[in-house]
């Protein structure tokens, strides 16, 4: 390929065999890391989005892309999960219509922008961007990314919504590590403004800039961070939640007392134990294990109480009980029997 940006005289240089090997490698590195204009992703032309995982995060991500006019293919291995996701999105849109934030036409257009699939290969055939939002399990994510890399077009950007797992590790199972990036949305996705954009070791400037711009088009505020365990959000948040559990486990104070101190004393809108229930105690445990394994520091060891609660199936709001007990249709905050 002839590069017009280089002088024609370069073709007359006498170069040795070693230089003939090195020059293409150097140019490839420059193109990937310092010349994003040569790999010209334009967010205005990236219209086909695939979201993998129809759970809380996946349906929220599909919702926000669809509302902004993107064509969204939502993928899950379970048709029931897909049906529940569409029901959730519809319910959330209905709430927005009732509050006069959108019109009935906006709602109809948003739902019309979403298609559901159980076959990733079919869903990803024309994808510009794939956002993986499966369970926070490293082996599952590695498997999914290997599949994504196999079925997606060569220029497709592969993003993960992981909240703690190494982007570099995920990218290593693909043949396109320069196009793999973290796109960590916050829960609930339609409401929360932040998107943590995480560069892996090989993620290109072009891909990073594209994802930053696309996040802004979604009405979000993207923050670029580097690839270390927990990134920024969960490296700070999860140890705080874990310490609240240790405080409870050691008998310093009860559930309600700990949450009250943090709400009234630190102006947190939600106490750390209530927030853990909202996130999911299984997710909290997974993230603490990533931090503990990644840094090798005992300060990140998961609280034994957290481990026991997850083993007992007490996962918080999603299971109906964690530190608090939850009843469908009720917004009352009721202490779980185990902590009374």
Would you name the residues annotated as active-site residues?
163, 184, 196, 234
Structure tokens at 95: 């709430």
Pairing, β 194-199 against β 180-185: antiparallel
- DSSP letter for 314, please: -
Residues in the chain: 340
For 117-175, the DSSP string reads: ES-HHHHTTT-SEEEE---S-HHHHHHHHHHHHHHS-TT-EEEE--SSS-HHHHHTTSS
Distance from C-alpha of 258 to C-alpha of 277, rounded to nearest angstrom: 14
Q: CA 211 to CA 225: how far, in whole Å?
A: 13
Radius of gyration of the chain (CA): 23
Task: Give the residue from 45, 175, 59 showing the smallest Cα distance to 116.
Answer: 59
List the helix and strand counts (H, then E) for the chain.
Answer: 14, 10
Q: How far is CA 333 from the centre of its chain?
A: 28
Element (H or E) spanning 58, and its range? helix 56-67
């Amino acid at each position: 390929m002839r590069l017009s940006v280089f002088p024609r005289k370069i073709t007359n240089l006498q170069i040795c065999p070693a230089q003939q090997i090195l020059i293409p490698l150097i140019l490839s590195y420059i193109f990937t890391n310092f010349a994003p204009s040569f790999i010209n992703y334009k967010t205005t032309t990236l219209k086909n989005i695939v979201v993998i995982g129809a759970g809380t995060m996946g349906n929220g991500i599909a919702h926000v892309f669809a509302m902004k006019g993107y064509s969204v293919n939502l993928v899950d291995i379970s048709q029931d999960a897909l049906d529940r996701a569409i029901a959730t999105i519809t319910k959330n849109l209905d709430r927005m219509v009732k509050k006069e934030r959108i019109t009935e036409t906006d709602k109809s257009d948003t739902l019309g922008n979403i298609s559901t699939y159980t076959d990733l290969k079919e869903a990803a055939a024309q994808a510009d961007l794939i956002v993986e939002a499966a369970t926070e399990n490293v082996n599952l994510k590695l498997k999914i990314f290997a599949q994504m890399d196999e079925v997606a077009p060569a220029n497709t950007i592969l993003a993960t919504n992981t909240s703690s797992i190494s982007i570099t590790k995920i990218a290593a199972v693909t043949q396109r590590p320069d196009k793999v990036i973290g796109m960590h949305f916050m829960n609930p996705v339609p409401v929360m403004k932040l998107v943590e954009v995480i560069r892996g070791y090989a993620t290109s400037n072009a891909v990073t800039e594209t994802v930053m711009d696309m996040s802004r088009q979604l009405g979000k505020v993207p923050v670029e961070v580097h690839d270390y365990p927990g990134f920024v959000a969960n490296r700070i948040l999860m140890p705080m939640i874990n310490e609240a559990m240790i405080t409870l486990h050691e008998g310093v104070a009860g559930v309600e007392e700990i949450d009250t101190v943090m709400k009234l004393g630190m102006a947190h809108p939600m106490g750390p134990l209530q927030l853990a229930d909202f996130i999911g105690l299984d997710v909290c445990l997974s993230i603490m294990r990533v931090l503990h394994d990644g840094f090798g520091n005992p300060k990140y060891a998961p609280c034994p109480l957290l481990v026991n609660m997850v083993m007992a199936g007490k996962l918080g709001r999603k299971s109906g009980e964690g530190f608090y007990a939850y009843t469908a249709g009720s917004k009352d905050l009721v202490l779980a029997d185990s902590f009374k």
